Chain A
């Protein structure tokens, strides 16, 4: 067994490095080897996890039943209203559909969906799967026909499983979301005004980017310059504000008038209500959340997304693409933020406020922080007593989660002895190398044997990962912390950092790990 493990490692040497070693780079962002016991999924999976939380859309999986079954309510995104997204719709392709093509069945399925009385779909997303890509069903044509017939939006999602990696699926989902946003342009603004708004936003963006030039000035002077710039930005935004105001329905005016700025939240899936926590902070400081991408999002919200002043991107891996596209298309600037971890949460709130350039919001953020920080820090201090000196292994999908975890572990006195991701990019791994201590194993697209070897070698007390790794960790007698789709407690913001510490304590310090080696053997 030891022999095979060594072999297992030599085959993948380039994908693994140890902090402090000579090796400069890690190989990543590659397809897995054929025959690999990889934890990775497919294009379809990427599209499904990103798009499925759109709560009032009909998510129709065009393929054999499996693709729909395995992803049925997989994400754990909470909803505040419609929950049609929690049902699983499939064309359940059979042999004859594969032979003669699946378009006929797709047409029938859409017909049945439209004719069912209880359903009034406004938008149907049709997900393409492996076999559909191979038999070459023309989803676009089918969608167009259905749109014409029923007067609703039917949007194909190009997500044939084999056609790339999970990241490509994220993009396919983002494209579908952009298609939805096109409706906004057509319905509300017209091309001209939207272009004007985009020009305005680009101007604002240029102004905001000059931010870093104040280096050595004293604080008063900095504020003075900042204020001046803000007033410039505000005057540019006034025009747009009036334009937006006109477009608003009367019933919305009252609630919206108290917010001076509007933003979209990208790359949050409202797992365990995380999106609600972030929204709550934003509202408290005077920011309106227009649309969420995509946790607890509705079609209506998404269509309004182009009216926002700013996009904030939580999970960059899945949504930076959308942010860039929206910047280009609608002139909405974006900020990569992270509400995972205390320092990152504080930084993010401040960055958002600065970027919006509204002094009231800037002040409100400081008030919010002043209100919440002492209590949070006090709680963390308690958990630090229980966690300091423990060793953690991290293996997660997205690199942004890994990075924030390492930071949070550093704060809690937990040493990260191994960190890996399924979909990390070179820059992510550089960042990880900066954050970790010498000797830390850093790896890309790991398999269970590797995780096992390194966890054992480094004496990890806890593994942070997804559902497939939970059983492995337990089998080794190591605690486990769920940082994936299935997590049940929110991990963002002030609440989240405390939850994280609490859950880590709960699993690392469970008596079960001591029980394993006590008892009848001794």
Chain B
């Protein structure tokens, strides 16, 4: 393998090498898949849609269906109105979804298609719904796109009943997480006997069982009546500031539903915070079985803490998960020395810097960075562990560092999307993975004479 990454830093403000982000539309597509009976629709060239489907399919190992406006040169000159109108007609006639969730692309944004006005002029079939989000690929990242699509759901669908009565439910926005995480959040809410509206909900959409039948619109997903009802909820809990906060604020603005923005609940502290907030808002108790899981997690960390203490780690990926992972590895006694997200947003740097206030070691924090930068950091200050998506394999292989896969996308391992990273259960699984990776490395590097059964 060629070593193309020099130790010495050179100023680089324009060129991106090996991105740690992708574009808005795929995030919007993923969010849209969390609406029941929805067909995501990409208003742009065919390639975009094809790439997003392929990428999501590779991460989830599930069928991902979405349609495209199939832009041609004509559409790019005269505008995409005709394409979108034809597309919508074809979609309702041919694929018969309950909901069409349209995202734009850099192409349709640049030629200036006004999706709202096109939809207004379109005769939507009885009982069907169209959601549309503006997701220009040249702004933000896939996380921005996810946020924009969820916000569109609220903006276009949430309602408040006239008597202004609460439905005694909590809105819960889980963020850009896997179906396994969503199942875990729902399990916690149900264990606490809390009524909720969770959106978007990709469980039972992208983790359906194999029974020999393919259903283009699986049973999962938040329903339109549920989204309508979000304006009547008692409060909104948004997990992950970058993926979920905007939608919670939109609900506040529109229907005065109070927003609570929490970190993505990865690790003990963030999960504690979620449970405390849930108790505070609903007056419900945390049941013994969840408390027991916390106790088990603490027990496990006590059993293994010596493996983690002082170990240097690099964390990279999407902002919400990276922030929480950083907090979690700090609580394990590890030293996050390089923390990086590709999503450009200064808030990320502020949040992580604050978390690191007690750190007595040198560290790097960047938003809007790339894997090349992370690799350079590591060359200058090597780490014991990499925490992030599959692309880190490039660095892991070249620098011979163990990699624990967390986040999106994971293209070279399976099962991850079924298991939680969040909650106490998720933290237990993370500890197992991190510990396993460090000990596998130790076993590999220990002389045979010194190899032990008990570690």
Q: Which residues of A contact B (CB under 8 A)?
A: 1, 3-4, 7-8, 11, 31-45, 63-72, 82-84, 86-95, 97-98, 105, 108-109, 112-113, 115-119, 129-131, 133-135, 161-164, 448-449, 452, 467-468, 470-472, 474-477, 516-517
Contacts and interface: CB of A to CB of B under 8 A. Distances in A.
A118 B17 CA distance: 13
Contacts of A70: 22, 51-52, 54-55
6 contacts: A37-B95, A72-B18, A89-B15, A118-B4, A118-B5, A471-B63
Interface in B63-99: 63-73, 75-76, 83-84, 86-91, 93-96
A471 B60 CA distance: 9
B50 A45 contact: yes
Given A65-B21, A66-B137, A91-B15, A161 B10 contact: no
Contacts of B136: 64, 95, 98
Given A92-B19, A161-B71, 10 more contacts: A3-B96, A35-B87, A38-B70, A45-B50, A45-B51, A95-B138, A108-B14, A163-B72, A468-B57, A517-B212
Given A92-B16, A449-B216, A468 B54 contact: yes
B319 to A, nearest CB: 15
A109 B62 CA distance: 37
Contacts of A41: 46-47, 50-51
Given A4-B94, A36-B70, A82-B2, A66 B22 contact: yes
A192 B299 CA distance: 82
A516 B212 contact: yes
B25 interface: yes
Nearest to A169: B47
List 6 A-B pairs, minimum CB-CB distance, nearest first. Answer: A42-B47, A66-B23, A35-B87, A35-B90, A477-B212, A69-B22
B362 to A, nearest CB: 24
B19 A448 contact: no
A455 to B, nearest CB: 9
B16 A4 contact: no
Contacts of B39: 37
A272 to B, nearest CB: 16
B236 interface: no
A98 B26 CA distance: 20
Contact of B208 (A4, A82, A161, A475): A475
Contacts of B210: 474-475, 477, 516
Interface in B92-129: 93-96, 105-107, 110-111
Nearest to B73: A163
Nearest to B84: A34
A66 B70 contact: no
Given A69-B21, A109-B15, A130 B70 contact: no
Given A37-B95, A72-B391, A118-B5, A87 B15 contact: no
Given A7-B93, A38-B70, A72-B391, A65 B45 contact: no
Nearest to A70: B51
A69 B19 contact: yes
Contact of A130 (B14, B96, B106, B208): B106
B48 interface: yes
A123 B28 CA distance: 36
Contact of B212 (A65, A471, A476): A476
Interface in B381-419: 391, 394
A85 B325 CA distance: 32
A4 B216 CA distance: 11
B69 A112 contact: no
A53 B17 CA distance: 17
A45 B178 CA distance: 28
Contacts of A11: 90, 93-94
Interface of B: 1-6, 8, 10-19, 21-26, 39, 41, 44-55, 57-58, 60-73, 75-76, 83-84, 86-91, 93-96, 105-107, 110-111, 136-139, 141, 208, 210-214, 216, 342, 372, 391, 394
Nearest to A66: B23
A34 B86 contact: yes
A472 B54 CA distance: 12
A472 B62 CA distance: 7
A31 B87 CA distance: 13
A65 B23 contact: yes
Contacts of A92: 14, 16, 19
A35 B19 contact: no
A11 B21 CA distance: 38
Contacts of A516: 210-212
Contact of A87 (B17, B26, B51, B62): B17
Contacts of B5: 118
A7 B94 CA distance: 6
A500 to B, nearest CB: 23
A87 B68 CA distance: 29
A161 B216 contact: no
A70 B214 CA distance: 26
Most buried by A among B14, B50, B71, B136: B14
Contacts of B17: 87-90
Contacts of A135: 110
Nearest to A102: B138
Contacts of B208: 475
Contacts of B95: 4, 8, 37, 449
Contacts of B88: 35
A472 B214 contact: yes
B103 to A, nearest CB: 12
A517 B213 CA distance: 11
B10 A131 contact: no
Nearest to B368: A92
Nearest to A515: B210
Contacts of A449: 95, 216
Contacts of A468: 50, 53-54, 57, 63-64
A318 to B, nearest CB: 16
Nearest to B211: A516
Contact of A35 (B2, B18, B25, B69): B69
A391 to B, nearest CB: 16
A97 B18 contact: no
Contacts of B65: 37, 448
A467 B58 contact: yes
Given A11-B94, A476-B213, A65 B61 contact: no
Contacts of A83: 1-2
A112 B64 contact: no
B89 A84 contact: no
B23 A64 contact: yes
Nearest to A10: B94
Contacts of B44: 130, 161-162
B121 to A, nearest CB: 16
B61 A162 contact: no
A95 B139 contact: yes
Contacts of B48: 42, 66, 130, 161
A470 B44 CA distance: 25
Most buried by A among B5, B16, B96, B210: B16
Contacts of B91: 35
Contacts of A72: 18-19, 391
B416 to A, nearest CB: 15
Given A42-B47, A476-B212, A87 B18 contact: yes
Given A35-B91, A134-B76, A448 B216 contact: yes
B44 to A, nearest CB: 7
B63 A162 contact: no
B16 A162 contact: no
B9 to A, nearest CB: 10
Contact of A34 (B13, B83, B141): B83
A164 B23 contact: no
B219 to A, nearest CB: 13
Nearest to A116: B10
B14 A65 contact: no
Most buried by B among A11, A35, A115: A35
